[in-house]
Amino acid sequence: MAQREREDSKAARRITFPIATRVLVAKPRTRVKGLKPVRSGTKTKGAYKAGANGVHVFTFAELKPTRASSKKHGEYYTDTQAVVIEGKKIMVGMSHEKAGMGAQLHTHPNDQFNFVLKGTLRVQIEGQPDQLVPAGAVVYFPAGVAHASCATADEDVVFYVCKDLAWSLAGIPVDKKKASGPQRNVPSVRKLATARNATS
């Protein structure tokens, strides 16, 4: 009986994350009339500056995304787009990755957390086996450690990103000669699991 009560208690404390994704789709009017977000004075080109022009509340759905990498040869490692807001010491963003696409191996001198809201990311972190990060999970990319993340072929991925401002949103491709676009044709979760089981 006591075991069942503990299990019921644990179940009652669980948070269901699909609610969070539905909240993000809503377009509530949050801005004070007359105040417009500012897109200058930031480390990340196209990011919004928190507090500038008196704007402290932002609704991601009302803002324009920026690219996570430039398309210049040697710098082009991903097609990820994100709405980015920078404060004094940290930046946050809402990112979108198309199904089956993702970032090539890269690094940056700032810590990064990605909280997956929709879909599944496949991540590679230097010295670790590939891992799947489903909706409701968080992945940590340490500063200076090579890593890559891709949306599986199952569906587009939406994730919340948080980084310190030691650097901008953009990463530095590990192999600048191969930095000519994003990873493509990332398999589905089922195909990844089948391949993993075949090698075990």
What pLDDT is stored for residue 73 in this prediction? Answer: 66
Residues 6+ apart with CB under 8 A from 3: none
| Domains of the chain (ranges, CATH numbers) | 2-199 (2.60.120.10)
Q: Which residue has the tokens 């507090």?
A: 51
Please list, in sequence order, all residues whose beta carbon lies within 8 angstroms of the beta carbon of residue 38, skipping any fewer than 6 positions away: 48, 49, 52, 53, 55
Identify the pLDDT of residue 9: 47
**pLDDT tens-digit map of 168-194:** 999 888 887 665 566 666 767 777 677
In angstroms, the CA 36 to CA 127 distance is: 44
pTM (2 d.p.): 0.78
41 φψ region: left (φ > 0), alpha (ψ -120 to 50), beta (else): left
Model confidence pLDDT, tens digit, residues 109-140: 999 999 999 999 999 999 999 999 999 999 99
Predicted confidence (pLDDT) at residue 165 exceeds the cutoff of 70: yes
From 36, 29, 17, 35, select the one nearest 158 (Cα to Cα): 17
Question: Average of pLDDT values for 44-69?
Answer: 91
Residues 169 and 78 sit within 8 Å (Cβ to Cβ): no
Checking if the pLDDT of 22 tops 50, the result is: no
